[in-house]
Chain A
């Protein structure tokens, strides 16, 4: 709100006249100043609304109120995790302002790009340091990719959700289930230079097999990654949806590691050391490892599985009418492109193909749509996806069975589920089929996590 009231009125007069011209009618053509001073009639404008001068950097209508709600479980603690409002997303690109963020620290860096550099050293022939200007001179690429927090959709988050509904009912009541459970994923267009190009410029030495990447945030977030992935499709990104990275997304520079869990995508990227072995950082041992019921934990598993989710209708929605509704949602896979999404509206008995929005990008959210007529009876709806390699999204039980099959001796799925219910751990690689139950009254409720035996 930079314009003074008087200036604004003068400005509004002009803009209203222009708007009238554009619309083919001339309501203010007589130059009636009184009419121009009250342009609110019929247009919804209030004196406090931004005028065009205020919109030098765009804004949305005050009627749009969707926000990245604070994650549950952190409401009174850190409040640092802002989750994508999947229920309100439209299309396949997440607006930067909706993009989830997971920060493990209080302070958001605000780095001057003129001061920022990227150092590459270690097992290279030529250690090099690059300024932001130099990084932008390299051949650039733009690609659409999803990001997903390692723990997204975990039973852990369901426990926090229930706990917060109980402990902080006033603040937690506005947090939508889909946002609390699944809101740690977004899909954006990212622009930058391939890490392989920078590594080649430095000359990787024989024997190198991993890199260590570090950000210049307060905790100097660090991550080990296999060199082979870094020589494939990893992007050193400075652009997000056609503009510079948002501050909370690592401005001015971040790693974008297509298809791999969020923790790998080091923000505020400052340092890369080429090494021969992984470093077992806190962010890849105490955190972001997956403990199995037999006491062994997976480490460096990284890739996100095939996953889909109906975003409308979902828990908390209310169907008002019988008849046509378009079921819609998102599908993504850390391996290749989504090739098929099927929807069931009869509790998994039969499945029909949904229409996929094109173009379909590899390792990116793909919007799917499915025509449906609701006849007013109770219905359980769900989606499942398949990627270009034929990998299929599992049910919750199948997911548990795969973990059980890795244990020695093998464990039945029921035992693994029981472990997830009782153990106070975070579990990862969560891509189960999410079902929603539509009641006769049109209400929509979760029909998966509700069936777990969770006590809070």
Chain B
């Protein structure tokens, strides 16, 4: 934040937001170095494929677990198992709902993810291994539906598309903290009020007990 020559109080929470807006305004004046060129629409579209919880970038297409089952058996089960149970060391995609607060939690796509869009995004960007990017949007919807069906999140015949995918409420939707991640109030400090605590925990030096 070098654009405004005032010192920022570390305890201030509001000021950075104000600064951000102020910078945005000042930056609107124009480029400094005039390097780079305007991308074509096609160039932007080719890389505008990341899908977040709002699903704004999701393409047209649709699929259900019925079609997904066949695809999964052919393209995914070699690593992830017939029922998405995972074959070590490849990740387990199904099961474990309700186990997260036990001594042996099972983290799968179904039990752990807060949003179903993550499944769609990852299959689309990185699966299957050695043939990444070859699945059609409808195939990705179908595979996502199969994984969610195997987790009991949706029914076998439920059709997923641009609209229905973002409406799915995952069982661990509220399992993460902070619930609404914020840009850090202090750029040099994690949101986690963490390392400061050691001073309070450690009153005096004493022999190490092995841990």
Task: Mark A residues whose CB is within 8 Å of B.
Answer: 73-74, 77-78, 105-106, 119, 121, 125-130, 134, 137-138, 197, 200-206, 208-210, 212, 214, 218-220, 222, 226-229, 231-232, 270-271, 273, 275, 277-282, 285-286, 289, 291, 293-303, 305-306, 334-336, 344, 347-351, 380, 382, 387, 390-398, 401-402, 405-406, 417-419, 422-425, 429, 433, 435, 447-448, 451-452
* 22 pairs from A and B in contact (CB 8 Å cutoff): A105-B126, A105-B129, A125-B27, A200-B32, A201-B36, A206-B24, A209-B183, A226-B182, A229-B184, A280-B53, A282-B122, A294-B101, A295-B102, A295-B105, A299-B181, A302-B190, A335-B195, A344-B205, A348-B208, A350-B205, A390-B199, A391-B195
Chain B nearest CB from A99 CB (Å) reads 24
Q: Which of B25, B36, B114, B209 contacts A129 (CB 8 A)?
A: B36
CB of B118 within 8 A of CB of A285, answer yes
Chain A hits for B121, CB < 8 A: 222, 279, 281-282
CB of A201 within 8 A of CB of B32, answer yes
CB of A204 within 8 A of CB of B192, answer no
Q: A270-B47, A394-B198, A398-B198 are in contact. Are A303 and B109 (CB under 8 A)?
A: no
CB of B198 within 8 A of CB of A134, answer no
CB of A134 within 8 A of CB of B36, answer yes
| In the complex, residue of chain B having the shortest beta-carbon distance to the beta carbon of A279 | B52
Chain A nearest CB from B208 CB (Å) reads 4
Chain B hits for A285, CB < 8 A: 112-115, 118, 176
A-B contact count (CB 8 A): 259
Chain A nearest CB from B112 CB (Å) reads 6
Chain B hits for A396, CB < 8 A: 211
A244 to B115, CA, bound (A): 39
Chain B hits for A232, CB < 8 A: 1, 187-188
CB of A347 within 8 A of CB of B208, answer yes
Task: Mark B residues whose CB is within 8 Å of A.
Answer: 1, 16, 20-21, 23-25, 27-28, 30-33, 35-39, 43-44, 47-48, 50-54, 89, 91, 100-105, 107, 109, 112-115, 117-118, 121-122, 125-126, 129-130, 132, 175-178, 181-184, 187-192, 194-199, 201-202, 205-211
CB of A277 within 8 A of CB of B52, answer yes
Given contacts A335-B190, A348-B206, 10 further A-B contacts (CB under 8 A): A130-B36, A203-B27, A206-B21, A214-B50, A277-B53, A286-B109, A289-B176, A335-B195, A390-B199, A392-B199
Chain B nearest CB from A62 CB (Å) reads 35
Q: Which of A205, A271, A348 contacts B24 (CB 8 A)?
A: A205
Main secondary structure of the interface of B (DSSP, over half): loop
